[in-house]
Structure 1
Amino acid sequence: MRQSQDRQRQSLVKWGVLGLSKSAVPKVSIIIPCYNGEKYLQDALDSIVMQSYKEYEVIVIDDGSTDSTASIIRSARLPIRYEKQENAGVSSARNRGIRKSTAEIISFLDHDDMYYNETVLQRAVAAFNSDYDLGVMHGSICFIDENGTQIGLDMCPKYQDQDTLAALLFYRSCIPGTGLFVRKKSLVGVGMFNEKYQAAEDYDILLRLAMQKHKFAYSTEPFVKYRRHAMNLSRIGSTRNHDNTEAQRIEGNILKSYPISSIIKVFEKSSFPEDEKCARLGTVLLRMGMIADAKNEFLKSINLNAFNIDARFCMGVLCVRESRYDDSIKHYDVLLKNNVCVQNRTHLAGIYNNYGVALILSGRTEEGFESIERALICNPNYQDAGYNIRQRGHKCTDLKLTPRPLRAN
């Protein structure tokens, strides 16, 4: 035990995170991994310049850019530590930035995003100053389009304790890696980013931080403006990975790295209502490919609460995959006819889309496309529904199901 503690201390000394006074005002290292960032990088840098808190350093790790990123850095209005490496991905770039950092607190900002307003650093530093045990600070996400116009807001679900937080993270990736503040010793303590992951790398490290009991805090005011645009959605060659299929596959592998007994224990200790514990655990098991166990949890949830959205939604998905279209329709009917999601248009959009797919596959084609049209009325930017509506008039053999309830934003 003593040898293990000595090794951990040596590691922390190596990375320069010991010897800091608890009363010292921390400085922030802002790490920007960048790949071909010429279009949006200046916006990110401008959002740093406007910060009211000035005790920071900026580290840009250029992950093999072939555009004018370097010239933008040279003409920047603030000092920047700039290093270029061969393209190795976002995890490698972030780890290199961590190694180069000198501050106690690390802030990650993707090159195509911006800090939400001028008080972001000030708010984060105040939180770390008031609680030396705090390891991670995060906020909600403000989504913007290519032109910087706000198109949505994603609020992290509230959590009262570490077990509920860990259960939330197992259930879904609900904390963004960009705009995140982490104490450096916490990052080093969990081994930093896993460089084999080119997607869901932030999900992986956040789960490790939560499961190893590093303390989290949450601000309802956003820390970051998260930009949605063509390049980060296609993510070809990018340090930022948004291919949903690939990210979901990697998230499934990350989940499988945890013993199922540990995951179940986290949910049992969480503060969720009993029907939510079953439904959300079922969603995790489904993502891990444990179909039969997932079904059992969904059915337990429905027995406790016939209108549980997660359980009904995912059972509808499973029924379609098993070609039990009428059973799928029944699950979505329960939610639609009882107005379960009338106040949440995002959830309603997902239900209308999947309901429409089940109707089409059961032979009720026009009813199905009418339902998908309703999904797009609820959420005009809904990609699965947009794809499906374009299949009208064609052979409907490749319709897109949304695998789990959509996040409100």
Structure 2
Amino acid sequence: MATEANSPAVSVIIPTCNRAWCLAEAVDSVLAQAYQDFELIVVDDGSTDETPRLLETYGAAIRMLRCKNRGVSAARNAGIAAARAGLIAFLDSDDLWLPGKLSRQVAFFERIPEVLICQTEECWVRNGRRVNPGKRHRKRGGLIFEPSLELCLVSPSAVMVRRGLFDQVGLFDEALPACEDYDLWLRVSCRIPIHLIETPLIIKRGGHADQLSRAWGLDRYRIASILNLLESGLLSDDQRRSALRVLRQKCAVVAGGCRKRGRRKEGAYYEQVAAGAGEGGVPAPDSVATFLEEPR
């Protein structure tokens, strides 16, 4: 592992909040990597459980950042700001790395210097049992912007990026309480290919009660992301047409969910967007922000 006297090759960032129940396994999976030229930054996003005391037991093996509770985007961004390496990798605190993860990705970047981002395949574990991802969730590499509009095809825990990529595309959007990874990877994939190592090198765990992706209405945050992207001027004509198509599909689904939950005003807004209301068929991004509350 890198020491304070030299800069590491990789900065590993684990954001966490009130996950003392699984955090040690995540940290240990990083410390057990075959490749050891890294620093491990654990960003505690205002935990009120045993997380701070747990992290103190690791001593100099990790760098701990203690922040006010501002969400996972702010925590990851704080880790990026503190990182000393030219390569950055993320691990969600409920996921695990297999021992060869860092060595395979570092070798990939060394072999192809022009690569800015790559991810690995993953194993899914739900409620302690191995499951197979559905066909639509299977990873793919290359120019994946269009399929990534439907759902997030890049896992933060599987990614490694060159630090300079953030200068091009920006950081995680701290205004999004969920789907912040979907948002960032769209900003990346509309510009450049996302490379894939087809070996599963992470364990992506799910099914636990505090898993954010289980909340209702996550497509609201994906809609906000697409709206921002449409306003950005980054998209080609083909990409823009695809984004509009998926935007209307997602708005129709969310509108139906709003109606079932008695959220008529919100549902009416998404129905208008799905029908192509607004100048050019795209409302201003801030108009959707009215409905972007914490996921529930």
Within a 5 Å distance, the mapping from 1:4-403 to structure 2 comes to 27-76=9-58, 79-115=61-97, 117-147=98-128, 149-153=129-133, 156-159=138-141, 161-162=142-143, 165-211=144-190, 213-233=191-211, 241-259=212-230, 262=235, 265-266=238-239, 282-287=245-250, 289=251
Contact 1:44 1:111 in 2 (8 A): yes
Contact 1:143 1:225 in 2 (8 A): yes
In the superposition, the TM-score normalised over structure 2's length comes to 0.75
Identity %: 26
Q: CA deviation at 1:214?
A: 3.5
- The one-letter code sitting in structure 1 at the alignment partner of 2:220 is R
> What is the aligned residue count?
249
Contact 2:187 2:229 in 1 (8 A): no
SS for the counterpart of 1:199 is coil
Question: Deviations for 1:144-163, whole angstroms, at most 9, x for unmatched residues?
Answer: 1344x42334663535x43x
Is there any run of 5+ residues in structure 1 with no aligned partner, and where? Answer: 1-24, 234-240, 269-276, 292-313, 323-409
Question: Deviations for 1:295-317, whole angstroms, at most 9, x for unmatched residues?
Answer: xxxxxxxxxxxxxxxxxxx9xx9
Partner Cα separation in structure 2 for residue 61 and residue 128 of structure 1: 26
Contact 2:16 2:45 in 1 (8 A): yes
Contact 2:125 2:205 in 1 (8 A): yes
- The one-letter code sitting in structure 2 at the alignment partner of 1:57 is E
Is there any run of 5+ residues in structure 2 with no aligned partner, and where? Answer: 1-6, 260-296
Contact 1:45 1:76 in 2 (8 A): no
Partner Cα separation in structure 1 for residue 60 and residue 99 of structure 2: 15
Partner Cα separation in structure 1 for residue 236 and residue 219 of structure 2: 18
Q: CA deviation at 1:190?
A: 1.4
Question: Aligned-residue CA RMSD in angstroms?
Answer: 3.0
Structure of higher CA gyration radius: 1
Partner Cα separation in structure 2 for residue 95 and residue 189 of structure 1: 15
- The one-letter code sitting in structure 1 at the alignment partner of 2:90 is F
In the superposition, the TM-score normalised over structure 1's length comes to 0.55
Q: CA deviation at 1:263?
A: 6.5
Partner Cα separation in structure 1 for residue 173 and residue 164 of structure 2: 16
Q: CA deviation at 1:142?
A: 1.5
**Closer, same or farther: CA 318–93 of 1 in aligned 2, 3 Å:** closer
Q: Moved runs in structure 1, 4+ residues, more than 6 A?
A: none
Match of 1:350 in 2: none
Q: CA deviation at 1:86?
A: 1.2
